[in-house]
Structure 1
Amino acid sequence: MNYSQIPVKLIELESVDSTNNYIAKKVLTGDLIPGTVVLAEKQTEARGQRGTKWQSLAGLNSTSSVFLTWKDIKVREQFKISMLVAIGVCRFLRNFNIEAEIKWPNDIYVQTKKIAGILIENQLKGDYISSSVTGIGLNVNQEVFEEGLSATSIIIETGKKENVRLFTMQLYQEIGRTIEQYHQYPFEWIERTYSGFLKGFDEAVTAIWIQKQEEIKIQITAILPDGRIKALVNETDYKLFDLKELKFIF
């Protein structure tokens, strides 16, 4: 597929359980072309990473998903997709002078507050990823969040209200450009670009080592294609961490 044409089509819904679910069902019936973006004013069962729920006020934010197909990404390298999408989101926000960063693996933060979340569900064919459904929840015009929720939005950061529909289309255009750029360069380009947005890369940050329930200082030094990170722990030893082994504290 030609990623530079994303979004090939925009489907707008008033309400849906989740845009990821909507796309998954349409893919099964063959009713969706690659590059299609689904945007919903309201999601009744929006999901985040690790079974969490994405909280968003109806009509104020961009809650959407895109259907993409792939030819050359192996299952063991599927984290490449997550990296590319996260890079695209950060690049897009930087266009608005919002200093977006990635909290490993793919939450998007502005300083200590979350502005976007990404949920990717891949379909496999043998040793390769055949397609993926990528859901993105991006806070746009919401100014008030639940008590205790560390979140921010475009309007909070810039003071300007945005057209959610136009904003969403521009977001996926940036993601498409990022994927096109990936096809011109080796993995080192993705790792280098992703690292440039990554909180804790070449700087010490605090995290909970979940297995040991221990607070540690880590400095990320490398990202592997399978999503694991190599990090210097407490300035003494290097260790590889998998996706569910750390909880960062900012």
Structure 2
Amino acid sequence: MKLIKLDAIDSTNDFLKELLTNNNPENFTVITAEAQTKGKGQMGSVWVSENGKNLTMSILVKDFLFDINQIYNLNISVAVAIVTVLQTYNIPKLSIKWPNDIMSDNKKVGGILIENVIKGATKIDSIIGIGLNVNQVNFDGLPKASSLSLMANATFDKDELLEKIVEEIKLNISKLEANKSQELWIKYTDLLFKKGAPMPFENASEKRFMGIIQGVSKIGQLELLLEDDTVKTYGIKEIQMLY
């Protein structure tokens, strides 16, 4: 992989998109930044990170996805890769909160944002943005956030984590290319946060209801068993879990 380290940038995803537009970066080019002024989360939210303490990175995956209907395969590959690496560091109670938050117990320690650039009918370039709280210990005003350091009572080498995560993502992508996506889907489903437990949700109209997570559809919609014993699917903008 080609690694570009930056001291500060508005967004590693935006930097990599511009690089992709104006140059021809090699596959699995990685951008990291010690400080990010406009880090991105899902649905336009802002990812806040203390300078120098965390892992903020973007990875380019070129010409991998050939079918837009399989686009969520990349999401699960990345999420499973991160959890697989963190499991080797004995981070407790790891899970994936749909769609792409990395959880330790009930605390968010990381997030994923994948932006896709469609290049015609058969080619898609993907920019994988990853924010991982590593050695930060102060999360004032963020009661649901934590870090690897706090959860494991240890200090971690960010460069080592980066290399291991990129290698695991490469491995999972090779599985997708070998038509072994089912193996990754099984792991992803098993790792779903609060799967099988009755949980409160809120829809876009702020109406609250109970549901039990059954899984995630192939296009990334959450599958919920409702109180009337029906199973309904929801997109990312349609509901949020209350926990």
Same fold (TM over 0.5): yes
Are residue 133 (structure 1) and residue 127 (structure 2) matched?
yes
Question: Quick one: distance in 2 between partners of 1:45 and 1:199?
Answer: 27
Question: Quick one: distance in 2 between partners of 1:73 and 1:248?
Answer: 32
Q: CA deviation at 1:244?
A: 1.3
Question: Quick one: distance in 2 between partners of 1:68 and 1:93?
Answer: 22
Q: CA deviation at 1:148?
A: 3.7
Q: CA deviation at 1:31?
A: 4.0
Aligned to 1:5: none
Q: CA deviation at 1:231?
A: 1.7
- The answer to which of 192-201 and 12-21 deviates more is 192-201
Aligned to 2:208: 215
SS at match of 1:199: coil
Aligned to 1:22: 15
The answer to whether the 8 A contact 1:182-1:189 is kept is: no
**Identical aligned residues as a percent:** 28
The answer to whether the 8 A contact 1:107-1:117 is kept is: yes
Q: Which amino acid aligns with 2:185?
A: E
Question: Quick one: distance in 1 between partners of 2:234 and 2:6?
Answer: 39
SS at match of 1:70: strand
Q: Which amino acid aligns with 1:191?
A: W
Question: Under a length normalisation based on structure 1, what TM-score does the superposition of the two structures give?
Answer: 0.90
Aligned to 1:193: 187
Q: Which amino acid aligns with 2:88?
A: N
Question: Under a length normalisation based on structure 2, what TM-score does the superposition of the two structures give?
Answer: 0.93
The answer to whether the 8 A contact 2:65-2:125 is kept is: no
The answer to whether the 8 A contact 1:86-1:102 is kept is: yes
Question: Quick one: distance in 2 between partners of 1:146 and 1:176?
Answer: 35
Question: Quick one: distance in 1 between partners of 2:161 and 2:23?
Answer: 28
Q: How many residues align?
A: 242
The answer to whether the 8 A contact 1:112-1:150 is kept is: yes
Root-mean-square deviation (Å): 1.7
Q: Note the 1:201-240 alignment, pairs <5 A.
A: 201-211=195-205, 213-234=206-227, 236-240=229-233
Q: Which amino acid aligns with 2:17?
A: A
Q: CA deviation at 1:71?
A: 3.6
- The answer to which of 141-150 and 82-91 deviates more is 141-150
Q: Note the 1:1-250 alignment, pairs <5 A.
A: 8-98=1-91, 99-211=93-205, 213-234=206-227, 236-250=229-243
The answer to whether the 8 A contact 1:78-1:129 is kept is: no
Question: Quick one: distance in 1 between partners of 2:175 and 2:70?
Answer: 17
Question: Quick one: distance in 2 between partners of 1:139 and 1:61?
Answer: 5
- The answer to which of 53-62 and 148-157 deviates more is 148-157
Question: Quick one: distance in 1 between partners of 2:40 and 2:87?
Answer: 25
- Structure 1 gap segments, 5+ residues each: 1-7
The answer to whether the 8 A contact 1:140-1:154 is kept is: yes
- Structure 2 gap segments, 5+ residues each: none
The answer to whether the 8 A contact 1:218-1:235 is kept is: no
Q: CA deviation at 1:235?
A: 5.3
